[in-house]
Chains A and B, each alone.
Chain A
Amino acid sequence: MSKLTTTDLTKRFSGLVAVNDVTFNMEEGEILGIIGPNGAGKTTFIHLVSGILMPSSGTITFKGKDITYAPAHVRSRMGIARTYQLIHPLENLKVIENVMVGAVFSKDKSLKEARKSAEAICAELELGRLERDTAQLSILEIKKMEIARALANEPEVLFLDEVMAGLNSDETKQIIATVQRIAKERKMAVGVVEHVMGVIRELTHRVIVLEAGELIAEGTYETVSKNPRVVEAYLGGAA
């Protein structure tokens, strides 16, 4: 079943077209890779579907409902969660409270219930000592905290915007394994923006490729990586 669909989605910043006529859909339980060179519009695309930016034209539907202009907090309550390329810790809240925010406001849980589910999610991600301030966390722990917070929203669709950036390969593997397991358990659709091709190959069922705001290719990692347009645009001289 199709969870999230965009039709001719376009975002213009005065002269620049950051996302151009993108039509795509995400199925229940699939892990989708979103790749493309720097400035291709990947993050803008996630801003559009998560409601941080409003599109210039086109439509977005979630489970058949038009959410094109729904505010971000309404979308997260409906079941679309995300993390950010740049970290966004809430520095005056403890680690556990950071994670609880998602459960309290997206799922209307009481503080007690939210604490319980936040603890469970953190345990799953092997994030401990939850009464700490965020300033005491390592970069890996902050990234885990932000994934935990997104998961606390109990989303049906989750976007991870370059969570692996800045992590070493062991840490990356650990996060990949967790994301895969949780996605499978919850039948969650996951969109992953990533520059490390190894991660995309291992993690995703399907890949879409953006270049200069346009969707230029779609398919499994194997087919997409052999697509001459993709090779030229994305992999460039290296391939």
Chain B
Amino acid sequence: MKLKSSYIAVALAAVVVLAFPAFLGAYYLNVARSVMTYMALAISWDMLLRSGQISFGIAGLFGLGSYASALAVLRGGMDPFASIIFAAVFAGLMAFALGFVILRLRSMYFSITTLALMEIFRIVMHNLHDFSGGPEGVVLPVVIFNGDAPALYWLCLAGLIITIGVSWYFEKSKMHLALTAIRNDETSARSNGVDIFKYLLIAFVVTSTLQGMMGAIQVQSYGFTAPETAFDANFTLLPLAMALLGGIHSTIGPMAGAILLGIASEWLKLQIPYGHLIVYGVIIILVILFMPQGLLGMARKMIRAGRKAGATHE
């Protein structure tokens, strides 16, 4: 019964998502892409969070992917589509190298370091005038698929589906046991054969690869990037807020949060330009104060309460 309803939900969502380009104009497809990009980032952030490591560096890997892709096309003459794969691998390799150092850190020390890394990436791109275009950034000669709105939508959707797939695998495989054990109790994990560093490194590299991929898709879709665009703090803060609102330590939570906050933010942007960030801040504070487990946690609580009520009636 439960399995059936979840299959129906997935099928319905698939139909809606696949039908979008047929019904929506370029503006709404653009909004959908923005929501999907944030959703993928929210999910990838959550995947690392399942190990207890809180990254503030999403925008760093995202921006790194953007630049890797743009510069590969511009300076290396790479095919735009191939450059997305290149950028994803590049972000993953950077995470692998950096991970050896920073994954020895825990809690706020790890968080602050990822934040600092993001700043370093931004400053480097800001100052490498000849290579990265400096503060003005870079403009690509052509937008991928010549800017065809449905095609860009499909590309972004593909990136999102890959992210959801990997996240689902993390939930269903032994990664789930490894990351949860590490988050709950490292001593216990070690005593039961969990190679903590190995699993943290896998999670960090995989999530960074996904973030780099989404950055590359973004830059190829807009045909432009600059340090302040690629490393925009919003790419760290919004995914975080979305995951918190929807419910952390799951795939479905960040997805729900991204849909709600993503659509709300587009609407708010039109109503109160720039003021939407204040509303964001308020939402984050309210969520942390009143439903630390997010919407998902609240839904679970309600289901449990419902079951209990049902049981006592019998």
Closest to A76 in B: B193
- Tell me whether A52 and B184 are in contact in the complex, defined as CB-CB below 8 angstroms, given that A92-B249, A104-B177 are known contacts: no
Measured CA separation A76–B177 after assembly (Å): 16
Q: Which residues of B contact A92 (CB under 8 A)?
A: 180, 183-184, 249
Among A71, A90, A106, the residue within 8 A (CB) of B185 is A90
Query: How many of chain A's residues have a CB under 8 angstroms from any CB in B?
Result: 30
B107 within 8 A of A: no
A149 at the interface (CB under 8 A from B): yes
Q: Does B181 contact A (CB under 8 A)?
A: yes
The distance in angstroms between the C-alpha atoms of A82 and B190, with both chains bound, is: 11
Write the A95-126 contact mask toward B (1 if CB under 8 angstroms, else 0). Answer: 00100111011110001000000000000000
Point out the residues of chain A lying under 8 angstroms from B139, CB to CB: none
How far, in whole Å, are A97 and B195 apart by their CA atoms in the complex? 17
Check: A93 CB closer than 8 A to any chain B CB.
Answer: yes
Contact B180 A90 (CB under 8 A): yes
**Does A72 belong to the interface (CB within 8 Å)?**
yes
Contact with A along B158-192 (1 / 0, CB 8 A): 00000000000000011001101101110111111
A100 to B249, Cβ gap below 8 A? Answer: no
- For residue B196, CB closer than 8 A to chain A, the reply is yes
* Closest B residue, CB atoms, query A152: B192
Q: Is B188 touching A100 in the complex (CB atoms < 8 A)? A: no
Say whether A102 contacts B181, CB under 8 Å: no
Is A105 a contact partner of B193 (Cβ separation < 8 A)?
A: yes
Q: Which of B180, B190, B192, B196 has the most CB of A within 10 A?
A: B192
Main SS at interface, chain B: helix
With a CB–CB cut-off of 8 A, which chain A residues contact B193?
A: 73, 76-77, 101-102, 104-107, 153
B-facing mask of A132-159, CB < 8 A → 1, else 0? 0000000000000000011011000000
Question: Given the interface contacts A52-B190, A100-B177, A104-B177, does A73 sit within 8 Å of B185 by beta carbon?
Answer: no
Is residue A91 contacting chain B, with contact meaning CB distance below 8 A? yes
Given A92-B249, A104-B174, A111-B173, A76:B191 Cβ within 8 A: yes
Q: What number of residue pairs across chains A and B have CB atoms under 8 A from each other?
A: 81
A111 x B174 contact (CB < 8 A)? yes
Asked, given contacts A101-B194, A104-B174, A149-B192, whether A90 binds B181 with beta carbons under 8 Å apart, the answer is yes
Q: Report whether A81 and B191 are in contact in the complex, using a CB–CB cutoff of 8 Å.
A: yes
Q: Which residues of B contact A52 (CB under 8 A)?
A: 187, 190-191
Alpha-carbon gap, A90 to B173, bound state (A): 17
Tell me the smallest distance from the CB of A108 to a CB of chain B, in Å.
9
Contacts of A50 in B (CB 8 A): 191
- Residues from chain A with a CB closer than 8 A to the CB of B190 are 51-52, 71-73, 76
For A100, the chain B residues whose CB sits under 8 A away are 177
- Measured CA separation A84–B190 after assembly (Å): 12
How far, in Å, is A158 (CB) from chain B's closest CB? 11
Separation in Å of the A173 CB from the closest CB of chain B? 26
Question: Are B192's CB and A153's CB within 8 A?
Answer: yes
The reply to whether B192 and A102 contact each other, CB–CB distance below 8 Å, is yes
> How far does the alpha carbon of A77 sit from the alpha carbon of B183 in the complex, in Å?
20
For the complex, is A88 an interface residue (Cβ under 8 Å from B)? yes
Give chain B residues whose Cβ lies under 8 Å from the Cβ of A91: 184
Q: How far is the CB of A113 from chain B (nearest CB, A)?
A: 11
Cα–Cα, bound, A93→B194 (Å): 15
Complex Cα distance A73/B197, Å?
11
Q: Are B177 and A88 in contact (CB under 8 A)?
A: no
A51 to B194, CA, bound (A): 13
Instruction: For the complex, give the distance between the alpha carbons of A93 and B182 in Å.
Output: 11
| Contact residues in A for B181 (Cβ distance below 8 Å) | 90, 93, 101
Closest 3 CB pairs of A and B: A106-B193, A105-B193, A72-B190
Contacts A76-B193, A90-B189, A104-B177 known; 6 new A-B pairs at CB < 8 A = A81-B192, A84-B188, A91-B184, A101-B181, A102-B192, A106-B192
In the complex, 24 of the A-B residue pairs with CB atoms within 8 angstroms, ordered by the A residue number, are A51-B190, A52-B190, A72-B190, A73-B189, A73-B192, A76-B193, A77-B193, A81-B192, A84-B187, A84-B188, A84-B191, A88-B187, A89-B184, A91-B184, A93-B184, A97-B180, A101-B189, A101-B192, A102-B193, A105-B174, A105-B193, A106-B192, A107-B193, A153-B192
Q: Which residues of B contact A (CB under 8 A)?
A: 173-174, 177-178, 180-181, 183-185, 187-196, 249
